[in-house]
Amino acid sequence: MTEVHADHTDDGKTLELAVGDLLSVALPVNMTTGFRWELMDSDPDCLSLLGQEVTGAPAGQAIGAGGSTAVFRFIATAPGPSQLDIKLWQGHEKDEGVAKFQLRLAVREE
């Protein structure tokens, strides 16, 4: 089992995983703006969400300066192609989001 890390610089890329691998996606967020990253789409047959959290900004940083990170953790559960879509938004129905993050995944047998 390998842990694969992705961040905002991997947007639009294709990552290769093996069944049983862990995937960690870390995206910058400023929680004081009301915007948050939300998982919009993933293939539950290939990828299972283990959890998500927001880590705090570094100590000493001014309020509202950002520096927080939203972290999504997944496990590859079955072989096949998959896609992961996450968007930054405020949660309003008409809100299209201000940023989108997408990964294509190629999950292979161990």
The CATH number given to whatever domain includes residue 26 is 2.60.40.2020
Predicted local confidence at residue 65, as pLDDT: 56
Cβ-contact 83, 32 below 8 angstroms: no
17 versus 93: the higher-pLDDT residue is: 17
Q: How many domains does the chain have?
A: 1
pTM to 2 decimals?
0.86
User: What's residue 44's pLDDT?
Assistant: 84
- Residue 93: the pLDDT is 63
Which residues 6+ apart lie within 8 Å of 73 measured at CB?
Answer: 22, 23, 24, 25, 49, 50, 51, 52
Residue 47 sits in which domain range? 3-108
- For the stretch 47-105, pLDDT in tens is 999 999 988 766 665 555 567 899 999 999 999 999 999 999 887 767 666 889 999 99
Instruction: Give residue 57's identity as a one-letter amino acid code.
Output: A
